[in-house]
Structure 1
Amino acid sequence: MIKRLIPFAKKYKKAFILAFLCVVGETVFELVIPVLMANIIDIGVAQKDQHYIIMQGVLMAVCALIALVLGILYSRYAAVAGQGVGFEIRKTEFEKVQNFSFSNTDHFSTSSLITRLTSDVTIIQNAICNGFRPLVRAPFMFSMALFLSIKMNAKLALIFIVVAPILGIGLFFIVKTVGPLFRFMQSNVDEVNTVVQENLIAIRTVKAYVKSDYENEKFEKINQELRTHSEKAFRYSVLNMPLFQYMMYTTIVCILFFGSQMIFDGEMKVGQLTGFLSYVLQILNALMMISNVFLMLTRSLASCKRIVDVLDEVNNLHDPIDPIIEMNQGEIEFKNVSFKYKESAQENVLSNINLHIEPGSTVGILGGTGSAKTSLVQLIARLYDVSEGEILIDGHNVKDYSLEYLRDQVGMVLQKNTLFSGTVKENLLWGNKEASDEEIKWACKQACVDEFIENFPEGYDTYLEQGGVNVSGGQKQRLCIARALLKHPKILILDDSTSAVDTATEASIKEALASLKGTTNIIIAQRISSLQHANQIIILDNGKIHAIGNHEELLKNDEIYQEIYDSQLKGVDL
């Protein structure tokens, strides 16, 4: 799993190498200090050689200073490497998500993607910044200290043969237990983010329905699950410290006991025992660092898997080898099109759709809730791919067009109107970043934005909050229509995009759209008054085309259209 993230570290190879060298150098100088200490006791103190003691003491101070400088340098290079890798992972992951089709994003919840881009990447960064040093230092220190301690007194070093397996078994069970718990923790973080996100987005609805207590209970439940798994995971994790402390003190007691016997028997000097104890502490510290690294890696592996799941998600929409980048008319044809959101689904959302839309015409789509009106138009811009059949634009399959070019030529105002935090002008420039002020004013006039934009104190520089919460629903719809018009698309799709405006404004927008030359207009609406002017009206029923015709033809021949007309336009007696 970690191998999948190695390519992100290649750019920071130099920082990793320098950090590695600093750790090795720091460890070497620290390992020299116990040897110097033993020499001071066994030679300097034993022979009462003050000059020797001072010289060895100065060497110890120099070694400590060099180790300190190398440690500081390591921190710098490790920070560059860790933060750099996190930057690259986050950047690549975000770009991957941007290229997802709607069906890809359906595999992940929004809150889960946010957690994978933030919390999971941060865990990887921390593992590099805080784990690289012990990962390099601990094995090197362990092997060197073990070698020097054996060289100093092989007999006393046999104690490690007993201690090491006990520590290894304890660490194995701790890691095996906490691994799944860390995965549960990250899943719980996803769920907490979901609840928070839903609550903040729908905060007005929550307050309007006085559901704060209900939301608090829901949040408390999922927050308690996160707390339970976190407590359990860290409860097992912290067992690592008392286990190692117990073994460390037991080892020291054993070494002091057997070492003192060797001193009494003349097999060992006091300075050697002091140096040996220093190496013992370094060995045990190295083992403790290794165990901490294992715990850190266990948690980071859970995050690695979640990140790799996003990176390995197969995008089912691809550009052709030789894409078409020309669309002149905007003629649309559906040929035996069927569609379902998941391959495993038993029933199609759309079935056997055959439809021809003339270039430059205005087409209305009418149907009840769940009749797949939105699904139909999303196929035109390849937000999803058809399951069967094909869709042609100007005689070419939509799959033969460059995705970027196709979507640039198809202007969509989706059912859920979305504005971004920033000024009105910045939002409009999403349609065409090169648009002049004259073009912006033209688009706003067509969408009747000019009726209210002049009332804003700062006009086009008025700041919109996230999601456009500081403008009304009708104003939001008109701004989204103006943004789409700035693209000058060959095909313009309005998915119930005038439902929040009054009839007079809707009529003005309709008239403006009708005056657009060379643009094929597709309008989804619930009101017949919004579609009466269309060249043809398509009636969808349960994902199938029920009838096609203009207003007069459908009013005369189609029962569904007649029922809708009677309920909407004839009204009822009051």
Structure 2
Amino acid sequence: MLARLLGRYLRPHWPLLVAVGIFQLAQSLASLYLPSLNADIIDQGVAKGDIDYIFSTGAMMLGVTLIQVVCAISAVYFGARSAMLLGRDLRGAVFGKVSEFSEREVSKFGAPSLITRSTNDVQQVQMVVLMMCTLFVSAPILAVGGVIMALREDPGLSWLMGVSIPILLVGLGLIIVRMMPLFQSMQKRIDNVNRVLREQLTGIRVVRAFVREDVETKRFADANAELTDVALKVGKLFALMFPMVMLVLNVSSVAVIWFGGLRVDSGEIEVGTLMAFLQYLMQILMAVMMATFMAVMLPRAAVSADRIGEVLETESSVVPPSNPVTELHESGTVELLDTSFAYPGAEESVLHNISFRVQPGTTTAIIGSTGSGKTTLVNMLPRLFDATGGSVLVDGVDVRELDPDLLWSRIGIVPQKPYLFSGTVASNLRYGRPEATDEELWEALEVAQAAGFVRRMEDGLESSIAQGGTNVSGGQRQRLAIARALVKRPEIYVFDDSFSALDSATDARLRAALTSERADATRIIVAQRVSSIIDADQIIVLEHGRIVGMGTHDELLETSETYAEIVSSQLTAEEAA
């Protein structure tokens, strides 16, 4: 998967990679040339006392060094740019894919895991690309070139390379093999830390209300300790790696000087040749170490790439139509025909053979006990889920055949848990229709019974809203979410238990204003409170995912035992009548 990701997302940046290759090649050749010049200075200049030769060759070494530095800086610059662009493209691809997911896929991965995959996992792949551009390109050139140049200087000491290089490779290989499973475990434990932290931040009020700070602190400490344990094991292996590399390097240096000194003493080689051979051996071993360090990075990057690829290769269960319908001739009609829905792997369907029709300009209410399938039913209208049986029609066309943008423009949904984005009151209200004027915003706020408290805010429409709307009360958040849907002015409004946080008086005023100001729109209301739906044109009673009653309030009191029980549990006989 890592190779496929790199091939796909680095291909557009190939000019940068070519530049990296050219500069790394030039830098490596300069590095290989310097020991040879150093040997010449010692053998031809120092040994013979030729000052002119020392200065001329030294100047040449300075020039080569300057070229090496410039090429190294350029290679790192272009390599870093390639890696950052790859990270940008990968994050964009993951975000784009996740935004296409239905609630089914989001639930499958979980929000904390998706966050980790688009941040930490992308960072691991990004880092390995940076290391490849800065180390992996030059390592083989230095290793192969170093062997050639070392043999050119003195073949008699070549056996030292044949001993030291395999020892270094075997030692580092054993460490890498132990690191690979630890990297896999580390990414999962990062997911777990993110999950626990996200739960605690989101549910901080619940934590404090139940005085569970100590329990949650211990929960986070346990998740944190698990991640720390794995990180320490990886750190210990890293700590073992560098002393081992330095041991091999130093022992090899001593061996070269020892055996090379014997050859210098016997007159077989010059001192400069010995120094050059030593430098080439160090370059070879450092190249092997760099390549091995890359090999250490690759397993973790491969794990991260697999996790990213899993997201990118997951197809949404809500698939856009190949030939979408882009025009509708009706306005606001909703119909379900023998519709069923079951979650993947579930033993039983959530909804069974649901059929009803909603006419434009009418109010249809859906009521039932907790878990009866009310929210699942309305979530099929904007295709947050797709029906697993039967059809859901909007304006006479199956929603699976409609252009998604056209479908979403027709429906304004206020979810069961309203969510506001960080920004201002105005930016939240304009979320569905950016071109809405201030007058239209105030009109929607009036209908939603939210104009009063917005006027009392210090900056009115420009008052700040915290992420999630945590700086306003639950009822205010609910009314702002309703106003946001009203600003959009769709043909179909879906209120998923959206009046539950409102008192009865505000609820009644809001419904009256909604019926008056949006008389031509279709209104679908999911409710727990009978008083919120008593005047609906049509009430659908759900129980265990099946329709057990349908009609007006008065009709259902006569024909539906389930509805009559719900009414009697909430209203007196006089109120019900």
TM-score greater than 0.5 by the shorter chain: yes
Spell out, residue by residue over 1:502-550, the C-alpha distance to the aligned partner (whole angstroms, 9 max, x if none). Answer: 1111111111222223311110111111111111111100111111111
Q: Tell me, what secondary structure is at the counterpart of 1:540?
A: strand
Q: Tell me, what secondary structure is at the counterpart of 1:454?
A: helix
Spell out, residue by residue over 1:364-404, the C-alpha distance to the aligned partner (whole angstroms, 9 max, x if none). Answer: 11100100100000011111111111112222111110112
**1:319-338 equivalent positions in 2, closer than 5 A:** 319-327=320-328, 328-338=330-340
**1:259-278 equivalent positions in 2, closer than 5 A:** 259-278=260-279
CA shift, 1:494, in A, is 0.2
Query: Counterparts of 1:72 and 1:173 in 2: how far apart (Å)?
Result: 33
User: Is 1:42–2:43 an aligned residue pair?
Assistant: yes
Residue in structure 1 matched with residue 90 of structure 2 by the alignment: 89
Query: Counterparts of 1:290 and 1:283 in 2: how far apart (Å)?
Result: 11
Query: Counterparts of 1:471 and 1:528 in 2: how far apart (Å)?
Result: 27
Q: Tell me, what secondary structure is at the counterpart of 1:365?
A: strand
Matched-pair contact (CA < 8 Å) for 2:2–2:301: no
Query: Counterparts of 2:151 and 2:252 in 1: how far apart (Å)?
Result: 15
Amino acid at match of 1:364: A
Q: Tell me, what secondary structure is at the counterpart of 2:331?
A: coil
Point out the more displaced range, 158-167 or 188-197.
158-167
Query: Counterparts of 2:324 and 2:400 in 1: how far apart (Å)?
Result: 9
Residue in structure 2 matched with residue 144 of structure 1 by the alignment: 145
Amino acid at match of 1:4: R
User: Is 1:307–2:308 an aligned residue pair?
Assistant: yes
Query: Counterparts of 2:526 and 2:144 in 1: how far apart (Å)?
Result: 73
In the comparison of the two structures, how many residue pairs are matched?
571
Matched-pair contact (CA < 8 Å) for 1:329–1:360: no
Spell out, residue by residue over 1:39-92, the C-alpha distance to the aligned partner (whole angstroms, 9 max, x if none). Answer: 111111222211111111111111111111111222221221111111111111
Q: Tell me, what secondary structure is at the counterpart of 1:239?
A: helix
Matched-pair contact (CA < 8 Å) for 1:367–1:526: yes
Give unpaired runs (5+ residues) of structure 1.
Answer: none
User: Is 1:448–2:441 an aligned residue pair?
Assistant: no
User: Is 1:287–2:288 an aligned residue pair?
Assistant: yes
Residue in structure 1 matched with residue 256 of structure 2 by the alignment: 255
User: Is 1:22–2:23 an aligned residue pair?
Assistant: yes
Percent of aligned pairs sharing the same letter: 38
**1:30-429 equivalent positions in 2, closer than 5 A:** 30-327=31-328, 328-342=330-344, 344-429=345-430
Q: Tell me, what secondary structure is at the counterpart of 2:337?
A: strand
Amino acid at match of 1:452: F
CA shift, 1:571, in A, is 8.4
Q: Tell me, what secondary structure is at the counterpart of 1:320?
A: coil
Matched-pair contact (CA < 8 Å) for 1:492–1:522: yes
Residue in structure 1 matched with residue 531 of structure 2 by the alignment: 529
Matched-pair contact (CA < 8 Å) for 2:331–2:360: yes
CA shift, 1:557, in A, is 2.0
Point out the more displaced range, 242-251 or 493-502.
242-251
Residue in structure 1 matched with residue 4 of structure 2 by the alignment: 4
Which of 552, 555, 559 is equivalent to 2:554? 552
User: Is 1:462–2:463 an aligned residue pair?
Assistant: yes
Spell out, residue by residue over 1:442-477, the C-alpha distance to the aligned partner (whole angstroms, 9 max, x if none). Answer: 211111111221111111110001111111111111
Spell out, residue by residue over 1:412-437, the C-alpha distance to the aligned partner (whole angstroms, 9 max, x if none). Answer: 10001000000000000012111112
CA shift, 1:182, in A, is 0.9
Query: Counterparts of 2:486 and 2:381 in 1: how far apart (Å)?
Result: 17
Query: Counterparts of 1:499 and 1:571 in 2: how far apart (Å)?
Result: 22
Which of 559, 565, 571 is equivalent to 1:563? 565
Residue in structure 1 matched with residue 542 of structure 2 by the alignment: 540
Residue in structure 1 matched with residue 519 of structure 2 by the alignment: 517
Matched-pair contact (CA < 8 Å) for 1:431–1:485: no
Matched-pair contact (CA < 8 Å) for 2:492–2:523: yes
Residue in structure 1 matched with residue 490 of structure 2 by the alignment: 489
Q: Tell me, what secondary structure is at the counterpart of 2:571?
A: helix
Query: Counterparts of 1:243 and 1:32 in 2: how far apart (Å)?
Result: 28
CA shift, 1:172, in A, is 2.3
Spell out, residue by residue over 1:466-495, the C-alpha distance to the aligned partner (whole angstroms, 9 max, x if none). Answer: 111111111111111111111211111001
Give the alignment's Cα RMSD to 1 decimal.
1.5
Q: Tell me, what secondary structure is at the counterpart of 1:498?
A: coil
Spell out, residue by residue over 1:194-242, the C-alpha distance to the aligned partner (whole angstroms, 9 max, x if none). Answer: 1111111121222222111111110110100000011112212332212
Query: Counterparts of 2:573 and 2:548 in 1: how far apart (Å)?
Result: 24
Query: Counterparts of 1:287 and 1:320 in 2: how far apart (Å)?
Result: 53
Amino acid at match of 2:389: E
Point out the more displaced range, 344-353 or 244-253.
244-253
Matched-pair contact (CA < 8 Å) for 1:446–1:509: yes
Amino acid at match of 1:81: S
Query: Counterparts of 2:322 and 2:138 in 1: how far apart (Å)?
Result: 50
Matched-pair contact (CA < 8 Å) for 1:237–1:295: no
Point out the more displaced range, 104-113 or 250-259.
250-259
Q: Tell me, what secondary structure is at the counterpart of 2:323?
A: coil
Which aligned runs of 4 or more in structure 1 are off by greater than 4 angstroms? none
Matched-pair contact (CA < 8 Å) for 1:101–1:384: yes
Amino acid at match of 1:326: E
Q: Tell me, what secondary structure is at the counterpart of 2:366?
A: strand
Query: Counterparts of 2:18 and 2:529 in 1: how far apart (Å)?
Result: 67
Query: Counterparts of 2:498 and 2:139 in 1: how far apart (Å)?
Result: 63
Query: Counterparts of 1:95 and 1:79 in 2: how far apart (Å)?
Result: 24
Matched-pair contact (CA < 8 Å) for 2:75–2:133: no
Query: Counterparts of 2:133 and 2:545 in 1: how far apart (Å)?
Result: 57
